[in-house]
Chain A
Amino acid sequence: MIKIDTIIIGAGPVGLFAVHQLGIKGLKSIVIDNLDKAGGQCIELYPDKPIYDIPAVPECTGEELTKNLLEQIKPFNTEFFYNERVDEVMQDKENWIVKTNNNNEFTAPNIIIAGGVGSFEPRKLSLKEAVKFEGKSIFYAVKNKEAFKNKNISIFGGGDSALDWTLELSKFSKINLIHRRDEFRGAPHTLAEIKKLEKDGKISIKTPCQLESIEGDKDIASITIKFEDGKTEKIKTDTILSFFGLIMKLGPIAEWGLNMNKKTIEVNSENFQTNKKGIFAAGDICSYPGKLKLILSGFHEVALASVECFKRARPEEKYRFEFTTSSKTIQDRLGLKK
């Protein structure tokens, strides 16, 4: 079990800035996120889209914002636990114990939930029969491409993931690329390569059509797709790869005994504490009168929450408000040399 001052759930912009605000107060934190990298919605939903309302940054993309925040918290050498979802939160006197789906355990007096709209999970196929094949012959990601050798693979989707895996797996498997419309979204050179593979008969592209049914008992034998004009076609398939992006699911957060308002956690706007002492919520996931779902609001929220975190983590010390421009202590923590 790892002991720390604050457990931060969510590595989006607000979670990252929480590391900073806690760090300059001398508090150590760890960050847990279900994605494989930092950035949250900024990186997953709009890495290339510009943001215009970060104070003093006239324009930056989600990716740039994430990169700069990571740079800003570098001095605190924070440990990140990616690809992990917090499943359980338990009280232990004045402390909280957090367990993840990866069997990691942490304990701290404070938890800051900066979880956005919840954790990102792949959007799954809507057919009922898809469930029984999941993880055996239906996949939503490629973890080990060796497992996809010498197969009949039907790939669904029209974006980068679908296109990139079509290219890669076509080297050693038969691929059907299936999409609901004729246009694909991808880099020009990727699209050109796909076209060439189709021309050479290496892959087969089916558009505009959608999955109608999956046949097979233990293993998939074939799938039936339905074209826009109503015609159907049966395709020999043993493996399905589906790339319809990610959805956000609140997940286990709803079961931690926190006061919820729809999909958000109620907090007070003085220190952004929830109804449980030591559990805070900030960013898109929190709600209070006047709440705005803006990144800049999240920054303010964690700044205030970090003060209460300090009081709980260092009950014997007195909290002193300090400026980064003038505080020698803070500058030491930031590793600045004079």
Chain B
Amino acid sequence: MPKITYISHDGKKNTVEVPIGLTVMEGALQNNIQGIDADCGGSMACATCHVYVPENWFNKLEKLQDAEQDMLDMAYEPKKNSRLSCQIIVSDQLDGLEVTTPLKQT
């Protein structure tokens, strides 16, 4: 099963196994990982599952759609490497992915 590492804003690492097909957001919720709220439940409507993805991984992810980019405008301190974790679907290719959660989501 792919391993995903969630890094908190102050650097604490939490590596968990997330089944293929789930989103990075769901992987966080199922493992009680702090820092991802996901208020809207994954309908790309709230920007509270915002994460930063390091460049080497960012380029491997499927491209951002306009709707996700628009939603990221609403996120807390978005950066160039921001993504909504509800839109990143876990696959074998993403084994070892690291994402960093922002200081807060709202």
Residues of A within 8 A of B (CB): 41, 45-46, 49, 117, 123, 126, 157-159, 179-181, 183, 185, 210, 228, 244-245, 247-249, 284, 293
Contacts and interface: CB of A to CB of B under 8 A. Distances in A.
Contacts, number: 48
B76 interface: yes
B45 A158 contact: no
Interface of B: 39-41, 43, 45-48, 66, 69-70, 73-74, 76-78, 80, 106
Contact of B39 (A159, A210, A244, A248): A248
A249 B39 CA distance: 9
Contacts of A123: 74, 76, 106
B73 A180 contact: yes
A116 B104 CA distance: 21
The DSSP consensus for interface residues of chain A is: loop
A12 to B, nearest CB: 13
B11 to A, nearest CB: 20
A210 B75 CA distance: 12
A59 B49 CA distance: 27
Contacts of B46: 45, 247-248
B106 to A, nearest CB: 4
The DSSP consensus for interface residues of chain B is: loop
Contacts of B106: 123, 247, 249
A117 B39 contact: yes
Contact of B43 (A46, A126, A157): A46
Given A228-B80, A248-B46, A45 B40 contact: yes
Contacts of B74: 123, 159, 244-245
A297 to B, nearest CB: 12
Contacts of A126: 76-77
30 contacts: A41-B40, A41-B45, A45-B40, A45-B43, A45-B45, A45-B46, A46-B43, A46-B45, A49-B43, A49-B45, A123-B106, A126-B77, A157-B73, A158-B70, A159-B70, A159-B73, A159-B74, A179-B73, A180-B73, A180-B78, A181-B69, A185-B70, A185-B73, A210-B77, A244-B73, A244-B74, A245-B47, A245-B73, A247-B39, A247-B106
Nearest to A121: B106
Contacts of B76: 123, 126
Contacts of A158: 70, 73
